[in-house]
Amino acid sequence: GENVEQHPSTLSVQEGDSAVIKCTYSDSASNYFPWYKQELGKRPQLIIDIRSNVGEKKDQRIAVTLNKTAKHFSLHITETQPEDSAVYFCAANTQTGANNLFFGTGTRLTVIP
Amino acid sequence: DGGITQSPKYLFRKEGQNVTLSCEQNLNHDAMYWYRQDPGQGLRLIYYSQIVNDFQKGDIAEGYSVSREKKESFPLTVTSAQKNPTAFYLCASSIEHRAYGYTFGSGTRLTVV
């Protein structure tokens, strides 16, 4: 099955700086890569996703890049704000058997005012 | 509550007891999922269901059971065979068992006392 690794596990940045979270995956057939944000005690919420037919996608201060050859994808948050503080999860689907999502272990982002 | 409701929010279980976690959705989604979340381990798939009266084991199904008698409902039973049940449990749903657009419930925190 799919194996998704995520780094770093914790990340602290000053308000206004950029944050980058990186993930690698193992299944070359994966074609969908979402990112979820989970605030303390709340449900994960989809913030951005990318499909394998594109290399980059942006939504305001958030962007995701995908390198299919290297099997890694990254989340970029620019001009960070305190409300960006949360745990971020990457995920990848698997085309082998059931089309489920496999999640990384999460990155706790802290934005220091 | 975003169309998918989990109850209760907090649950306490005594050793040797079975407990059932509720998950209901009104999104008309075909597929439903149960994930377990532990600190530092991300989200791990317990069971999933693509259609009514059908479900499949995920990566960590031992000690858990599910049913899918109605499209809207996918309850999870944590049995006494689950040796370490204390965790945060998340239910999710998606259209037509695609990995696109998972919607998560707000979770149930289960504690063994």
Nearest by CB to B48, which of A6, A100, A102? Answer: A100
Largest Cα separation within chain B, whole Å, is 38
Q: What residues of chain A lie within 8 A of the CB of B105, using their CB?
A: 43
Q: How sure is the predictor about B100, in pLDDT bands with cuts at 50, 70 and 90?
A: confident
The tens digit of pLDDT for each residue in B42-63 reads: 899 999 999 999 999 998 999 9
pLDDT beyond 60 at A77 = yes
Question: Do strands A72-77 and A62-67 pair parallel, antiparallel, or not at all (unpaired)?
Answer: antiparallel
Query: Which is more confident, B99 or A30?
Result: A30
Q: How many residues does chain B have?
A: 113
Whether residue A8 is preceded by a cis peptide bond, meaning omega within 30 degrees of 0, is yes
Asked if the Cβ–Cβ distance from B43 to A89 is below 8 Å, we say yes
Mean pLDDT over residues B83-99, rounded?
A: 87
Tell me if B33 sits within 8 A of B43, measured CB to CB. no
The pLDDT, as a whole number, for residue B111 is: 93
> In chain A, what are the helix, strand and coil shares in percent, each to the nearest 5?
5, 55, 40
Q: What residues of chain A lie within 8 A of the CB of B98, using their CB?
A: 99
Averaged pLDDT score across all residues of chain B: 91
